[in-house]
Amino acid sequence: MKKQSFSSKCYTLLKKVPRGKVTTYKEIAKALGTRAWRAVGTAMNKNPKAPKIPCHRVVLSSGKLGGFAKGAEKKEELLKKEGIKISNKKIINFDKLFFKFPKNT
DNA sequence: CTAATGACATTTG
DNA sequence: ACAAATGCCATTA
């Protein structure tokens, strides 16, 4: 397993996101050194490790929730439980709740 | 290998 | 500001 699939890297980064914070597909892709936001979302949809990965903490770069395999409504509820305030499917204090990945590990 | 798909992002009207 | 159209990259058939 020297080189995991692109999706596996996304899950790894996602697990690094602390509870109560959120990240965007674009940031993940950028952290991986790519521009495949699309592929990131596609990878999340597969979500082979559903409860193991906080996929519900990933939102659109616009600050909106985006989509969710179990339903966007469910995702909103989960984020609210994390302590995140949401209004009209939009995250409040998004820039404050936004978790950015470190450049060097 | 080629074509189609998708939990997105950016630009244009 | 919002909606629609276009572009993007990796995965799947």
With helix as H, strand as E and coil as C, how does A37-75 read?
A: HHHHHHHHHHCCCHHHCCHHHEECCCCECCCCCCCHHHH
The distance (Å) linking the CA of A81 with the C1' of C10 is: 32
- pLDDT tens profile A56-102: 999 999 999 999 999 899 999 999 999 999 999 999 999 999 999 99
Looking at residue A48, its pLDDT comes to 67
Residue A69 CA, nucleotide B11 C1', distance (Å): 28
User: B11 C1' – A62 CA distance, angstroms?
Assistant: 14
For the question of residue A10 being annotated catalytic, the response is no
Q: Is the CB of A42 under 7 A from strand C?
A: yes
Q: Which nucleotide's C1' is closest to A59 (Cα)?
A: B7
Residue A1 has pLDDT above 80, yes or no: no
8 Å CB contact between A25 and A55:
no
